[in-house]
Amino acid sequence: MSLPSPSFSVASRVAYGTTARACRSGSRPLVVAMSGGVDSSVAAGLLCRAGHRVIGITLQLYDERRRPSELGQASGALRAKSCCAGRDIMDARAAARQLGIAHYVLDFEQRFQSTVVEDFLASYRRGETPLPCVRCNQHVKFSSLLSVARDLGACGLATGHYIRKAGGKASSKARCESTSKVESISNGEEANGEAGDDGEFDLLRARDLAKDQSYFLFTMTREQLAFLHFPLGDLRKDETRALAREMGLPNANKVESQDICFVSSRYTQLFPELASSSRRRGEICDLSGRVLGYHRGIECYTVGQRRGLGLGGLREPLYVVSLDAERNRVYVGERWALSVRGVVLRELNLLGALADFDDGELSVKFRSLMTAERARVTFTRSGKGAGKGSGKGSGKGSQLRCEVTFARAQQGVSCGQACVFYAGERVLGGGIIDKTIGYDANDGTSDVTAKDVTAKDELDARENLDEVAVAAA
């Protein structure tokens, strides 16, 4: 079908910009991941306008009506702010019909259950705060779906994420070195590659920082980035909706997906042991180890949580400072005790070179909605082969350890969340927070005291803790 031309220049720039130039492959199709929301539908529409043969694919990740007991849902309930189930599949199909493109629904329920839902539960049981959206992008959308797109002979996979991709041949000083080596760490494993292959692209934050989704996308590899396209990276949300109405898309005014898609109300409904009389109750202790009360299961708590502790008669409000899954204890303290100097990361994924971290002008985010904070990122090797150079194959058998030191103390930092690195608008990668550097519940000590927390820290902490409270509600 023929679609009208965009009514404002920014849409034209997106439709006929980087994506169109990078994926001109004759009759080869371009696959678009269509969740049923307005963003992915407009992404598909823009690519149609750019002259691509577009195939829309929607993943069915769970069935709320068929598996209410397994995912803790009310039987027959369809949620308005979820994605990839029920009504969303119908919305994606209707959008594809309006655009005149082929559309297919693939059953990825088993993959989603094993890589996202089970990881979500395991993370809480370890006393961490999980990131299911990151895991879904990592193991389902940018892994399994990308493989499907390749199998179809597609020239690329496009999504409706607000993020940008740009050629990066001159953006990293490491890529200009005579060795032309780019050292990268992908999904916890060390690898080396030649600059100019999959490493020629950079991942950039969205033009509209209020909609930027880079925090949830740091796990993509350079090889995946070379195959991916993000048509909405230069748009604001209101421009996306205007384009949707112009294209006549039936989901132009659909409410955004904001919640964890497989959780109907409280995430604790997903834990069968919490409904059992044999659930593991444990102690709630202050920083000195004194028992103040008892918790109803460590899975019910997250760092920064204030409400629902069941502790009365206290002079000052107390917050969850840390969770000790091994001892089955919840440690609480005053707000200053939430402050940490830095974090140690696991599951590193770097999109650039280690030399990119030498300049010191870096910032990090450990929550998606926070303003990026200045930090120093350092890497050290441990184990066999450490310190034997930086060429290809060096350090074999060694492990790379990453430590992030914040320029000022931060609050509301939780293990299990991501810490993402930025150099200006460029996304350098990130990792999962494995340990915080500050208060240590195991020995009852802290290198951060109340006097370290400034008035600005307190203001920022309220924003971070409000975000934590949403997850704990």
CATH number, domain at 427? Answer: 2.40.30.10
Q: Taking 80 as the threshold, does the pLDDT of residue 291 lie above it?
A: yes
Torsion of CA 199, 416, 216, 118, to 10 degrees: 100
136 is catalytic: yes
Question: Are 318 and 217 part of one and the same domain?
Answer: no
Question: Are 212 and 303 part of one and the same domain?
Answer: no
Question: Are 349 and 320 part of one and the same domain?
Answer: no
Active-site residue (options: 133, 155, 261, 300): 261
Give a yes or no: residue 256 inside a domain: no
Tens digits of residue pLDDT in 157-184: 999 999 999 984 434 433 333 222 223 3
Question: Are 211 and 101 part of one and the same domain?
Answer: yes
Q: Taking 90 as the threshold, does the pLDDT of residue 190 lie above it?
A: no
Q: Are 465 and 319 in contact (CB under 8 A)?
A: yes
CATH number for the domain spanning 324: value is 2.30.30.280
Helices (H), 50-159: 68-71, 87-99, 109-112, 118-125, 132-136, 146-151
pLDDT band for position 461 (cuts 50, 70, 90): very low
Nearest in space to 417 (alpha carbons), one of 216, 142, 141, 189: 216
Token digits of residue 260: 């964890």
Q: Which distant-in-sequence residues (6+ apart) come within 8 Å of 313 by Cβ?
A: none
Question: Are 313 and 406 part of one and the same domain?
Answer: no
Number of domains, the chain: 3
Question: Are 368 and 318 part of one and the same domain?
Answer: no
Q: Return the pLDDT at 65.
A: 55
The amino acid that residue 119 corresponds to is: D
Give a yes or no: residue 424 inside a domain: yes
Active-site residue (options: 83, 84, 133, 136): 136
Boundaries of domain holding 350: 339-385+395-455
Give this prediction's pTM.
0.78
Give a yes or no: residue 313 inside a domain: yes
Give a yes or no: residue 359 inside a domain: yes
Q: Which distant-in-sequence residues (6+ apart) come within 8 Å of 279 by Cβ?
A: 273, 296, 297
Question: Are 322 and 356 part of one and the same domain?
Answer: no
Question: Are 238 and 304 part of one and the same domain?
Answer: no
Q: What integer best gives the mean pLDDT of the chain?
A: 76
> Which range (107-111, 266-270, 375-379) has the least confidence?
266-270
Question: Are 110 and 211 part of one and the same domain?
Answer: yes
Tens digits of residue pLDDT in 383-437: 655 544 333 333 455 577 899 999 999 988 999 999 999 999 999 999 999 999 9
Tens digits of residue pLDDT in 320-363: 999 998 899 999 999 889 999 999 999 999 997 888 888 666 99
Give a yes or no: residue 184 inside a domain: no
Question: Are 359 and 436 part of one and the same domain?
Answer: yes
pLDDT band for position 256 (cuts 50, 70, 90): confident
23 is catalytic: no
Token digits of residue 38: 């307005």
Give a yes or no: residue 175 inside a domain: no
Q: Return the pLDDT at 296.
A: 83
* Distance of alpha carbon 243 from alpha carbon 240, whole angstroms: 5
Q: Return the pLDDT at 234.
A: 96
Give a yes or no: residue 262 inside a domain: no
Q: Taking 80 as the threshold, does the pLDDT of residue 146 lie above it?
A: yes
Give a yes or no: residue 332 inside a domain: yes
Question: Are 302 and 315 part of one and the same domain?
Answer: yes
How many Cβ atoms are within 10 Å of 443's Cβ, its own excluded? Answer: 8
Question: Are 297 and 318 part of one and the same domain?
Answer: yes
Residue that is written with structure tokens 């310190």 in the block: 387
CATH number for the domain spanning 138: value is 3.40.50.620
Q: Return the pLDDT at 464.
A: 45
Q: Which distant-in-sequence residues (6+ apart) come within 8 Å of 456 by Cβ?
A: none
